[in-house]
Amino acid sequence: MRSFSWVPFSLLCLILTCVIICAGQSEDGVRGHVFRSDALRLTYTFSEKLAPMVESEMPPTFRSDPNGREDLILALWDTPERTGTPRMAFLYDKNVRQAGLSRAQMADNYLNAIKQMWVSVPGVKIVGPKQISPAGYSIWRLDLRQPDDRPHYNSAVVIPLADRRLLVIRVSAPSQSELDTEVDSLSALHFDRK
């Protein structure tokens, strides 16, 4: 009859417990050039040319709107100093939209409110909103071209989430082609399935 040793068995149980606990945890934030938000079940791989700042690194006044409705969860600058206007800003709009609205209606309502703020500004060119699918699912884009302010080219991209909240991405660039490149980079955006 073979003798049973508790030491190897206990060690194996301890290792398995650690593996199970660690597998269930995933850290929010940036690792290398990948941003992860567990709350949104979102992963985004961004260009190595961009300098990130996540919500926990931002001053409180910078990351929340005065109404407490939108949280700035990620900002990406095209300079290491991370000053001025970010190239891309990811905002989580926590306002739950009414039941029964389609994804298109949720996006259009948000983007039309932005459009109304700019429609009376002299010289501003507004294009959209329009539906696009860089990541294989529908998102909505509104472009604004400003004649005086820098950066001149801006997009507001809206992604309605399953819980009827929104992920809003504000994109700024010095040219239309660079703006299009940044919006196209959203093909690297991935939402985990439940």
Evaluate if residue 189 carries a pLDDT over 80: yes
- Residue 42 contacts residue 26 (beta carbons within 8 Å): no
What pTM was computed for the model? 0.80
22-36, 148-162, 175-189: which range is least confident on average? 22-36
Write the CB contacts of 132 (distance below 8 Å, at least 6 apart in sequence).
138, 139, 140, 141, 183
Averaged pLDDT, 144-167: 87
Evaluate if residue 15 carries a pLDDT over 90: no
Averaged pLDDT, 2-20: 42
DSSP β-bridge partners for residue 125: 145
Write out pLDDT tens, residues 79-123.
Answer: 888 888 899 999 999 989 999 999 999 999 999 999 999 988 888
Evaluate if residue 131 carries a pLDDT over 80: yes
